[in-house]
Structure 1
């Protein structure tokens, strides 16, 4: 199955844990579940077994997750996932997005200035917004095409019905004239 994972900000009583939560978006439908449930990531190895690379990666992830634009980044990602998705998936994603907006989690009030991260977050959000627009365009064009075809078919059928009705009335009138 095609699955994407990405970290969610911890909130509430879970905010004090060091284990990040991950949003898993599965492009398949599950029968029983009505809303996606964030699952905790596996517990990280003990700090003594962490390599410098792992600690650096964890630090970058923590910076990204605490950035003021992180909710916008999640929202943009969710909006991309909704394009072309079945209605039940769109509903679940919309509910998830609503949950993210209603529970902002614990973010640092005064994050350490990081112009490089700020630029990255702004750029990535913009890229996701443009990507959604690019994904949406062919679907909108197809929808417009099918609506135009439907209107033409309806017009054509109404024209045929009007012609048949007029013809039937004409012949009935002629038969009535002959009888009189």
Structure 2
């Protein structure tokens, strides 16, 4: 039983070393991918589309969520293995997706603003101060008689 123990330790060490090597390789691939994406001709458009989505409303939490989603997607897929044409397709698709996201966010916001503005106008109409009707001559004369008595 003691003879199995050193082998298990050696195997465990080899597994840990392999895991570290795999992690280093994945980190290198991610860094290469980041450099390729940031130097891609569509990168500026991608950033602009992303910022347009953030400008639609106060969605500061969305930026954090998007970063988390991007990191999770990168972990799930080995994006470092993209060929240049696959990267081009990815960048185009991502820009289009962000454009569609912005449109999807703008439409409900515009409808909401139109509804709010309409309600505001109606409330102004309802609460508009009404001017009292000018008193008629008969009412004023009877009022005067009442005061004299």
TM-score by length of 1: 0.47
Match of residue 42 from structure 1: none
Unaligned runs of 5+ in 2: 1-20, 61-82, 145-149
| Structure 2 CA distance for partners of 1:133 and 1:174, relative to 1, 3 Å | farther
- Summarize the alignment of residues 30-41 of structure 1 with structure 2, pairs less than 5 Å apart: none
Give the number of the structure whose alpha-carbon radius of gyration is greater: 2
Give the drift of 1:170.
Answer: 3.5
Equivalenced residue count is 102
Match of residue 85 from structure 2: 115
Match of residue 68 from structure 1: 41
Q: Give a deviation string over 1:29-49, Cα, whole Å, max 9, x none.
A: xxxxxxxxxxxxxxxxxxx9x
Higher strand share: 1
Give the drift of 1:143.
Answer: 1.1
- Summarize the alignment of residues 35-114 of structure 1 with structure 2, pairs less than 5 Å apart: 51-85=24-58, 114=84
- Provide the C-alpha distance between the structure 1 equivalents of 2:112 and 2:32, rounded to a whole number of angstroms: 44
Higher relative contact order (CA 8 A, sep 6+): 2
Higher helix share: 2
TM-score by length of 2: 0.56
